[in-house]
Amino acid sequence: MWVIISEVRVCSLDDVRRLGRLIYTYRGKAIALFYHDGKVYAFDNRCPHMGFPLSRGSIENGILTCEWHHARFDLESGCSFDVWADDARVYRVRVVDGDVYVEIPDLDVEDRARILRRLRKGLEHGVQLLIAKALVSAIYSGLDVDEIYRASIGWAMERNIAWGGGSTFIVSTRNIQGYLDSKGLITSLLRGLSILSGEASDRAQRPVLDTLAGSSTSLPRLKSWLRHFAEVRDSFGIEVILASMAFHGYGIRDIAEVFFSVATDHYLSDGHVVDFANKAFQYLEAILGKPDPNVLRSLALLLAEGRRYEESHEWRHPVDLVEIVDEESGRLAEVFRSGGDPIDPREVAGLVINGDPRSIAKGITGFLEKDFDPRDVALGVALAGAQRIAMFSSSNEIGDWLTVLHTFSYANAIYQVVKRAASHEVFRGVYHGALKIYLDRFLNIPPFKIPNGSPGESKEKLLKSLVDLLNRRYMIDDVAYVVADYIANGYEDEDLLRTICRSVAREDADFHTMQMLDAGISIYRDLRSDAHRKIVLIAMARYIASQAPTDRRTSQVADIALKLHMGQSLHSD
């Protein structure tokens, strides 16, 4: 973008010397002029922190101090001595024949390097307002938002951390960003980046790791090594294998098949290992476009330290679910094949919701024996997970929502993995998801009855009612009736999804809520029946209502950054 810079005569040197400071307004922009130690300095009059007039500040020993929050700036460069304040914008000054000239750009457009530098500074120091200002500048300057995703996650992956809630939140935001307006995208990204900063800012750099540079080991051998290191919980050995696969040029899908084949040897950590890893591979595929050793290494600790389902009493007693999974998955090498005939996901979901453990597992194997598409079977299991949430009894504890959320999010993740890297080993995760849905059955006692909905109300009024309900606590069942009415009227689902996503974006949501949104939309897009989609939409609305409203502090910070960018005042005289 070309930016025209105008050199403007603003005053005489005598005037600014006599007054010490003065304000010059150019096309609505207030320029603060200061005379100090025989020189003239020009600043954007708005303090970069929160917009207070710098012309009211004090100058001592070459340092300009804003009176509002006492941010301090170098008069020469505008550089801040307080990390939370950001650097002030300064303009070049020339004195010619006793007149003061200032070079003023017609547009305050920040270049890519400055935006990414501000973003990194905000992440490293945990300053939410700096992050927000970087996001606002990026969105309104037309910077490709994927640059923000790459820069932020790339920064975090340089640290010695496991892939976690922050990175997951950010990738989920990217998956739903088509439903967000600019403010919603900024607020949602700000929330995710704030979580990421908290996870990574105080962590050491990831240590150097030697890959198997001199080895020509085959992919099956690498898989067997990875399985061994995972089984003995050797995180360093896992890192070596994962980084080496990237070094040797294996593609994302091949690496995913190896990783998830091993990750489904057990049901790990309430599904978080597969769920987080699915987001990591989505990042590699959709945003980065290639394997990244640091991202792959971030999965090692998850795989090594994950709590295994056989260590949990509910998987062993009164029915040994581990034994059932082992029996049925032992037949997968014979019956599994990629592709096949379509099957109604509702048929699979009905089996999972209503069956006992053995009939569920045998039924899933039976679908494969009948040459039904494994992807449709996995989708049906994910639909059953959504149904648990849609029918969640409001008599349960609020914390129990996380139980069904974890299960649904895992079922969606394993469905996405089966679509990406289908194999008989990976498909074992579908059994895990189905039997975990069985274990959650008590949370549907008594079940919430999914309403039929009543036509007649206008679209605008229903969407407003939904937003209003999400402003109040625990309107869990009420939102289900509004969504059912909306669907009964035959209104466009996209407008409903847009309203749900923007409602979440204004909240201080945790990564679980973003997982619900992302998983729900992912499943919704692949379901072909309106009846199936209704279950997912009601599940999304009820879960979000269980978590809303929050303090919305993130939204307030985004508002401040937007007002600063637009030149609006944050204070009154």
Work out the angle at residue 62's Cα, subtended by the Cα atoms of residues 56 and 65, and round it to the nearest 5 degrees.
Answer: 30
Closest among 281, 247, 277 to 263, alpha carbons compared: 277
Strands 99-105 and 93-96: antiparallel
Which residue range forms the structural domain that includes residue 130? 112-307
Residue 46 contacts residue 52 (beta carbons within 8 Å): yes
- Structure tokens given for 39: 């020189």
Helix (H) or strand (E) holding 72: strand 72-74
Cα 56 from chain centroid (whole Å): 40
Kindly indicate the confidence band of residue 571, based on its pLDDT and cuts at 50, 70 and 90: low
pLDDT at position 1 is 44
Q: Which of 420, 444, 468 is the last residue of a domain?
A: 444
Q: Which of 48, 73, 105 is the last residue of a domain?
A: 105
Residue 570 contacts residue 556 (beta carbons within 8 Å): no
Query: Is 476 found in the same domain as 381?
Result: no
Kindly indicate the confidence band of residue 107, based on its pLDDT and cuts at 50, 70 and 90: low
Q: Which of 410, 444, 478 is the last residue of a domain?
A: 444
- Length, in residues, of the chain: 573
User: 284-325: per-residue pLDDT in tens?
Assistant: 999 999 999 999 999 999 999 999 999 999 999 999 999 999
- Structure tokens given for 405: 């959320």
Q: Rounded mean pLDDT of the chain?
A: 95
- 451 found inside a domain: no
Q: How many CB atoms lie within 10 A of CB 542?
A: 25
Distances (CA, A) of 524 to 12, 56, 62, 493: 66, 55, 60, 10
High-pLDDT (> 90) share of the chain, %: 90
- 377 found inside a domain: yes
Report DSSP state, residue 441: G
Query: Is 480 found in the same domain as 528?
Result: yes
Helix (H) or strand (E) holding 496: helix 493-505
Query: Is 295 found in the same domain as 166?
Result: yes
* pTM metric for this prediction: 0.93
- The per-type count for the chain, helices as H runs and strands as E runs, is 25, 10
The whole-angstrom separation of Cα 289 and Cα 240 is 21
- Structure tokens given for 542: 């009820």
Query: Is 281 found in the same domain as 185?
Result: yes
Residue 4 contacts residue 106 (beta carbons within 8 Å): yes
Residue 327: partners with Cβ closer than 8 Å, 6 or more residues away? 361
Query: Is 98 found in the same domain as 244?
Result: no
Query: Is 217 found in the same domain as 161?
Result: yes
Query: Is 547 found in the same domain as 499?
Result: yes
Mean pLDDT (whole number) for 491-520 = 97
The whole-angstrom separation of Cα 437 and Cα 349 is 10
Query: Is 434 found in the same domain as 350?
Result: yes
Query: Is 502 found in the same domain as 436?
Result: no
Query: Is 21 found in the same domain as 84?
Result: yes
- 449 found inside a domain: no
Residue 431 has pLDDT above 50, yes or no: yes
Query: Is 464 found in the same domain as 394?
Result: no
Query: Is 338 found in the same domain as 273?
Result: no
Q: In what order do the strands lie in the sheet with 90-91?
A: 21-26, 29-36, 39-44, 90-91
The CATH number given to whatever domain includes residue 50 is 2.102.10.10
Q: Which residues pair with 58 in a beta bridge?
A: 65
Closest among 475, 517, 510 to 496, alpha carbons compared: 517
pLDDT at position 566 is 86
Work out the angle at residue 193's Cα, subtended by the Cα atoms of residues 83 and 47, and round it to the nearest 5 degrees.
Answer: 35
Cα 512 from chain centroid (whole Å): 10
User: 165-213: per-residue pLDDT in tens?
Assistant: 999 999 999 999 999 999 999 999 999 999 999 999 999 999 999 888 8
The whole-angstrom separation of Cα 102 and Cα 469 is 53
User: 364-411: per-residue pLDDT in tens?
Assistant: 999 999 999 999 999 999 999 999 999 999 999 989 999 999 999 999
**Can you say whether residue 97 is alpha, beta or left, with left for phi > 0 and alpha for psi between -120 and 50 degrees?**
left
Q: Based on the structure, what is the number of domains in the chain?
A: 4
Residue 3 has pLDDT above 60, yes or no: no
Cα 210 from chain centroid (whole Å): 31
